[in-house]
Amino acid sequence: MANHKSALKRIRQSEKRRLHNRYYAKTMRNAVRKLRATTDKAAAEEMYPSVQKILDKLAKTNIIHKNKASNLKSKLALYIKKLG
């Protein structure tokens, strides 16, 4: 167990941040999953900007890596393009 007040505070902070990051990462994964499950091109095109916004925000705050966000956005754009 921690011996210093600052270490106890650090434990509290890191746990709070971990839960915050986990929530937003899960929300992002669900949004991507929902978009991939869509078979209607119009609906997918309508959903894409909001998913893109989520990915950009998470990359900006280092919850996910910027390259991962870029890869997901390009894969989703390709998926939407292939929908007929």
DSSP for 26-84, written as a single string = HHHHHHHHHHHH---HHHHHHHHHHHHHHHHHHHHTTSS-HHHHHHHHHHHHHHHHH--
For residues 20-33, give the mean pLDDT. 97
Using pLDDT thresholds of 50, 70 and 90, give the confidence band for residue 3.
Answer: confident
Q: What is the mean pLDDT of residues 15-38?
A: 97
The sign of the dihedral angle between the CA atoms of 66, 49, 28, 44 is negative
- Residue 66: inside a domain: yes
Task: Give the model's pLDDT for residue 67.
Answer: 98
- Whether the predicted pLDDT of 2 surpasses 80: no
* pLDDT over threshold 80, residue 62: yes
Number of domains in the chain: 1
Q: Does residue 62 lie in a domain region? A: yes
Let me know if residue 70 belongs to a domain.
yes
Q: What does the block give as tokens for 72?
A: 């997901």
Q: Is residue 61 part of a domain?
A: yes
Q: Is residue 4 part of a domain?
A: no
3-class secondary structure, 3? coil
Res 63 pLDDT > 90: yes
Domain, as residue range, for 61: 28-84
What global pTM score does this model have? 0.86
Q: Is 23 domain-assigned?
A: no
